[in-house]
Structure formats: C-alpha cells, structure tokens
Amino acid sequence: MSFEEEDKTLVELFKEVILTEDKLEIKKFLDAQNITDVVDLIYEMPEYDSQIIANMSIHRAASVFKLLETANQKDIIHELPPSKAAELLNDLPADDRTDFLEELPSNAVRELIKLLDPEERKITLSLLGYPENSIGRLMNPDYVYVYAYNTVAEVFDTIRKYGKNSDAINVIYVINHKGELLDDIRIGEFILNTPDTPVSDLMDERRVISLNAYDDQETASEVFKMNNRIALPVVSQSNKLLGIVTIDDVLWVATEEYSEDMQKMGGTQAFEEPYLDIAIFKLYKKRVGWLIILFLSEMLTATAMQFFEVEIEKATLLALFVPLIMSSGGNSGSQASTLIIQAMTLGEVTIADWWKVMRRELFSGAMLGLTLGTIGLLRIMMWQQLHLYDYGPHWLLVGITIFFTLIGIVLWGSLIGSMLPIVLKRLKLDPATSSAPFVATLVDVTGIIIYFSVAYMVLKGTLL
C-alpha cells in the first residue's frame, strides 16, 4: 500500500470514529497511531485539530502539539477549553512551551501563564526572561545532577526519582553546593562501576563543554556540530548549572535559521510564519523594503550610463553589450556570495580566513573571467566572419574591449561577492543580508564604470 493510500485510509477511519461521538473509542483510536501520523492527520483535517488533541492522552497530545506549526498550535489553544489547555501546557517540556509562548502577543501570554502550575509558571517566566534567540530560551530544566561525594548507587536512586526526561539521563551532571558545574559523566560510566564507587572517582580533569545561557542560539548549533552529544549543559556567567539543551531543539533552530538565511539571500526580510499563512500586507512589507533599496541602487546604473553618454553616442555599438556585461558580473558575484555565506554557516570559513578567501577568488575570478572573455571575443569574431552581424571596421577592437571587460568585471564580482559577507560578519551583521540581488546590483553599477573605462582605453582614437 502506498503512503498516499495509507494516509487516505487513516483519514477515512478517523471520520468513521469521530462520527460515533464515543470519546473512549476516539481516544483509543488516536492513542494507537504514531505521533507523526497524528500530526499528518491534523494537517489533513484542520477543522478537527482541537478535537484530536483534546481526545488523546495528555502526554501523547503534548508530543503531537510540539511538532505542529505555530499557526496550528495557536488555533488549538484558542479552541480548547481552559482546563484542557492548562493540562496541555503543563505537560509540554518547558523549552517547547517557552518557544510557543514567545510567538504570542503579550496579553495572550499573560492569560496562558495563569493556567500553569506554580512550579511550571516559575520555570516558564524564568526562560522568558532571557533575550530572544538566546540559548536560555531553549533551555530544558529537566536534568539530573549529583554531587561528587555521592555513590553510584545513590546516583541511580536520583535518576529513578528525578529522571523525567529520557533524553536528559544519558548524561549526569556533577555540581558542588554552590550549584557550579564540575563535570558531566555519561550514564554508561555508572553502569560499568560498582554501586559503592564514589562519583569523584569517575570525574576527570577535562574541561566540561557547556553553553552560556545568554549566547546566541546559533552558537549551540556550532558546539553540537563539533561534539558528539545529544544534550549539553547550560551555565550562567558564574558557571552555575541552569539547565540543558537537547539536540532536537538545536535541529529546530538550525532549520529556522536556514529558512531565514534563504529568505534574506533572496532579497526579503525573514518570515516568522509559513508563506500561505502570512497576511498579504505583511508579505508586502517584508518584500518592499529590499525592492526599494535595490531599485534605488539600480538608479545608480542609469547615473553611471549618463556619465558615459558622450561615449555611447559616439559608439552606439557599445550599448549592445551592456546586458551581457552586467549579467556576467552580477552572476559571478551572486555565485561567490552564496558559496561564502554557506561556508560561513557551516563553520568552514571564519573572519580570520578573509585573505585565503580573497586569494582564492583572485585566481578563480581571473580564470572565470578569462573563460567568459574568450567566449565573448570568439562570438564577435564568428558573427563578423560569418556575416551574421557587422560590427564595423573596428570589430576586432570591440572584441578585445569585451574580452578585457569580462575579465575585469567577473574578477570584481567574485571579490565583492566573497568579501561582503565577511565584512558584514565583522560588523556583527547577518552575512545573509549580502544577498544575491544586492551583490548583483552593486556589481551592475561598478560594471558599467569598468566597461566604459576599458572601452575608452581600447577604442580611443577609433570609435571614441
């Protein structure tokens, strides 16, 4: 049976069960499905989203809820009775609950926080106190800690008593009485030692890899990438253990950051909502700013062409190649900026590598320009010799102009495209804002200047 057929069968079965209005039967049916299948069911039948959540066992409902898009989560919370909404929010992991609440208006947050149990309310308010996009907002307070004087037997007693989160007990954290993080020990170490072994015997001198609560969330992604861990401790400035961040949260952050970068590289502001859910006017506001900036920048191209108006009047032939020149420079710049932004995102390139990047782009840009310049020269020669177009008595000089211009503009585009993201990063700005359209526009303006400067040097005394 195909995936589509299975999905259709699940929808049809659910429709049959929901029509019975037997809550026990509905709950039994939903609890028997995989979590991801229930998520798909909600997307297929959004009109039943709150009923589906309300009729599941609360722990499974929370697992489904945290996988849904924010728009669906808002609809469900709005439609659920207050008692059920309170039960659902209280069962959500603190980090997932915080992630949901920070997407809501402040008045809605105040009302929902009132529904939380006192302890969950305290944890949520604590997490919401951290800056937006900080690691503190991702923090999960469900972790297990022990002291250096505890024995292995006492550690397992602590795990059984406090180990709520199965992801969190793979690593046990050792602290002192001040709450400072001393070490993190994999659970396998405790399993392989005798019950009377003190924790201090399992500790080593290696530095504990941890995250700072006030660091940007992208930092967590980089640290996880460099270390084979499913969870990392989060500490304060004074090294006090505050919570943990798990790999699933970091993957969500990485996905969101990738989406934002792609949107910025396309020349728009980042969207906080799915494309089909965003209001038309909001979509307009996200796009119009960059378009105005790019339009005003392109006006500089017209200004540059006006500066060379006399040369164009003397040799109108040069105007034929303006689109070719501009597109070649813009394309090479867009290529370079995309490659460098991706490399910086993956941690392959840092600000300190600027000279290595420039050196590589000098060579690669020159070779690319030489290739395109040769093609341009050959094209003019072939069209002239085959009588497909008459470039006049000085056609060879025109071809040489195009040849050297393409070398210069492709090299220049490669340098601009590669260096601009690094400069923005150095200024603590988002490199993704050096989007392909922006680089292409910048190279267009300078490309006109390069083109007519080369033309003036090559064609002076003939066409000019």
Whether residue 223 sits in one domain with residue 287 = no
Q: How far, in Å, CA of 97 to CA of 120, rounded?
A: 10
Is residue 120 domain-shared with residue 150, that is, in the same domain? no
For 171, the domain range is: 145-246
**310 in the same domain as 191:** no
Whether residues 293 and 434 share a domain: the answer is: yes
In a domain, 269, yes or no: no
Same-domain pairing of 88 and 152: no
Domain boundary, last residue among 229, 246, 263: 246
Does residue 287 contact residue 436 with C-beta atoms inside 8 Å?
A: no
* Domain count of the fold of the chain: 3
Domain assignment present for residue 268? The answer is: no
> Which pLDDT does position 5 carry in this prediction?
45
Residue 46, in any domain of the structure? yes
In a domain, 259, yes or no: no
What does each of the 464 residues of the chain score in pLDDT, given as a tens digit?
Answer: 444 444 457 888 888 888 888 888 888 999 889 999 999 999 988 899 999 999 999 999 999 998 998 888 999 998 998 888 889 998 898 888 888 888 787 778 878 888 888 888 878 877 888 887 888 888 887 788 999 999 999 999 998 888 765 556 788 999 998 889 999 998 999 999 999 999 999 998 788 889 998 888 878 877 887 787 888 899 988 888 988 888 887 877 766 666 666 656 555 555 566 656 667 777 677 667 766 766 776 677 677 677 777 766 766 788 888 888 888 888 888 888 888 887 887 778 888 999 999 999 999 999 999 999 999 999 999 999 998 888 888 889 999 999 999 999 999 999 998 998 888 888 877 776 656 667 777 788 788 888 888 988 888 878 76
Shared domain check, 332 and 307:
yes
Task: Give domain status of residue 267, yes or no.
Answer: no
Cα distance between residue 235 and residue 214, in whole Å: 9
pLDDT of the residue at 2: 43
**What CATH number did the domain enclosing 438 receive?**
1.10.357.20
CATH number at residue 202: 3.10.580.10
C-alpha radius of gyration, the chain, whole number:
31
Instruction: Mark whether 164 and 290 lie in a shared domain.
Output: no
Asked which of 101, 129, 157 is the last residue of a domain, the reply is: 129
How distant is the alpha carbon of residue 419 from its chain centre? 21
CB burial of 87-107 (b: ≥16 within 10 Å; e: otherwise) equals bbbbbbbbbbbbbbbeebeee
Q: Are residues 17 and 94 in the same domain?
A: yes
Q: How many helices (H) and strands (E) does the chain have?
A: 20, 6
Please give the order of strands across the beta sheet that includes 231-235: 211-212, 231-235, 241-246
Judgement on whether residues 353 and 448 belong to the same structural domain of the protein: yes
Q: Which residues have CB under 8 Å from 70's CB, separation 6+? A: 100, 103, 273
In a domain, 261, yes or no: no
Residue 178 shares a structural domain with residue 310: no
CATH of residue 36: 1.25.60.10
State which of 104, 129, 154 marks the end of a domain.
129
Specify if 134 maps to a domain.
no
The two tokens of residue 256 are: 């969101």
- Do 190 and 165 share a structural domain? yes
| 104 and 155 share one domain | no
Residue 191's pLDDT is what?
92
Residue 262, domain member (yes or no): no
Residue 9, phi-psi category: left (phi > 0), alpha (psi -120 to 50), beta (remainder) = alpha
